[in-house]
Structures are given as C-alpha cells and as structure tokens.
Amino acid sequence: MPMMEPVDHVGRAVNDAVLPDRPLKRNVPAGDAMLGIGLLSGPANVIMELARPGVGYGVKDSRVESGRADRHPIKRARTTFTYLAVALAGSEEQKATYRRAVNRSHAQVHSRPGDPVEYNAFDKELQMWVAACLYKGFVDVYRIFVGEMDDESADRHFAEGAALGTTLQVPAEMWPADRKAFDEYWQQSLDKVHIDDAVREYLWPIAAGRIGNLKPPAWLQKRTDAVNLFITTGFLPQRFRDEMGLPWDADKQRRFNRIMWNVGRVYNRMPRFVRQFPYNVLLKDLDWRVRTGRPLV
C-alpha cells in the first residue's frame, strides 16, 4: 500500500503548497475573503470540479447551450461568479431567486441511456464535490495572495463556506463538521477523481484560457497558451496536474511563487471595493436583472 503524503488544510499535499511568506491574518471579515483576483484560479477550479467523471460529463455533454463554457465562456463566468457572490454574501431572497434559476437549468442536465457515465445535476454528492472545490479555491487564493488566517477566522469562513453547497441541494448535514473533517473528506474524494481523454480534451482550452471561437495569429495563440497554462497549472494540486498531463517542477513552482508574491503586493494595496470586484458588482447586476426581467443564468 503506498504511503499517504502529508497534507495541510484543505487537503493539499505539503509539497504542492503555494505559501508565500506572508503574515498571519487575524479577525478576517467575511467580505475580505472574496478576492476578485481569484479569477486567475478559475480555470484550475473548473478542472478540479470536472475531475469527478459525473461532473465532467455533465458539463461536457450539457444540453443547456447558453451555459456551455466552451461556447459562451464570458456568460458562463458571469453566472458562476454570481453564484459565488450570492452563496457567500447574498441575502436569503437573492439565494432563493438564484437557486430557482439554476435549478431550471440543472433540470436539463442528466445522463441518458447509453451514456458512458451516469450523472444528474441534482446529485447531492456531486454538488458537494463542486462546493468543496469552490471552498478550497477560496482558501488557496487567500493563502497565496494575502496569507494564512488565524484559526478563529478560518473556522468561521469554513462554516460560512457550507452555503456554497446548501444554496442548491446539499443538505447542511453533508458539509463536514470542521476543517479536519473536510481534509478527510477531500482525501477520500481524491479516490473518485479521474479525467479521461474526452474530458481532458474538453478542459484543455479552458486550462489554456482560450475564449470561445476567437482565433488570434498562431504566434500569439502559442504565447498566450503558455502563459495561461503556467498560471492554471500553478494553482492545481499535483494530483490534478497529473490527470491533465500538465508538467510541473521545482523551478516552475519558484517562478509561480515569485510572480504571485509580486501580484499580491500590488493587489493588497488596492481599495477594498476594487479587491472585491467583480463579486460586489455581480450582486447589483443580479438585482437589476430581476427588476428588468432579464435571464439570471
């Protein structure tokens, strides 16, 4: 039986950790953990979510045309980040409104007889996995760009993170009792991770940050692919890099740490409303869409 790698909080193997030398943050307000710079880690988080075959095939083969990330990446990004904003900072009315809209779309996402993988968007276990990936993404982004939270703040944010699942169909009792229980859940869930060739082919343009059907000159595409793949791979734990076939080594890790350190130095000097963009704007956009009768997802 192979030895288990030592892990830190949210289940990242110690040798995967991206932890620039930043001071411990105490009494972190709820809104301060929602960092707009987390958009940089968005493709990595999508890969983690879709690494569960039921999620991967549910998204890859989705019959909801308007919600496909490969065809409508900007719209999909807006709806995803609106969901995050609503789940973590929205009112109960906003949560109920967005839940109804998402459920209407999810009702069309289910496998059919003969499909290679059975899935259903209302599957509570799959929703729990997606919520766990989203929570882990928030924690990693905060650690990389700001620093470690003190235990009291981290515990509070973990409890609030349950809303990433309970805003849809995940029962409150499915959310792990504490951060240690989450680590155990994460490690056990890694046994169910597998990215096959079909899902990997779907995910590769997302990992490379390609936008829809835009086709820049070949030399520019090659350069942007390299930059975006570097950033995406840097945010991924090693298990998911391996599943995607994305190479990584100590030199790349040091370069990634150095770049994120410098980006964080600039970002943390920005006004709070800038650091919370686009989440703050998306909540207002949601209210505007409700008032004007526009689609929410």
On the CB side of 196, CA atoms within 13 Å amount to 11
- From residue 287, alpha-carbon distances to 80, 94, 95, 278 in Å are 16, 8, 11, 15
Residue 41: what residue type?
A: S
- From residue 69, alpha-carbon distances to 60, 72, 80, 294 in Å are 9, 5, 10, 20
User: CA 263 to CA 279: how far, in whole Å?
Assistant: 19
User: CA 145 to CA 115: how far, in whole Å?
Assistant: 41
What DSSP line would sit under the chain, residue for residue?
-PPPPPB-GGG-BGGG----S-PPB-S--GGGG--GGGGGGHHHHHHHHHTSHHHHHHHHT-S-GGG-TTT-HHHHHHHHHHHHHHHHH--HHHHHHHHHHHHHHHTT-B--TT-SS--BTT-HHHHHHHHHHHHHHHHHHHHHHT-PBPHHHHHHHHHHHTHHHHTTT--GGGS-SSHHHHHHHHHHHGGG----HHHHHHHHHHHTT--TT----HHHHHHHHHHHHHHHHHHS-HHHHHHHT----HHHHHHHHHHHHHHHHHHTTS-HHHHTTTHHHHHHHHHHHHHHT----
Residue 9 has what pLDDT? 44
Burial (CB count <10 Å: 0-12, 13-18, 19+), residue 291: exposed
User: CA 142 to CA 145: how far, in whole Å?
Assistant: 5
Residue 232 has what pLDDT? 97
Sequence-distant (≥ 6) Cβ neighbours of residue 186 within 8 angstroms = 10, 11, 132, 136
Q: Which of 31, 80, 97, 67 is nearest to 287 (CA)?
A: 97
Sequence-distant (≥ 6) Cβ neighbours of residue 80 within 8 angstroms = 42
Contact 41, 140 (CB under 8 A): yes
Residue 145: what residue type?
A: F
Contact 105, 64 (CB under 8 A): yes
Q: List the chain residues with pLDDT less than 50.
A: 1-17
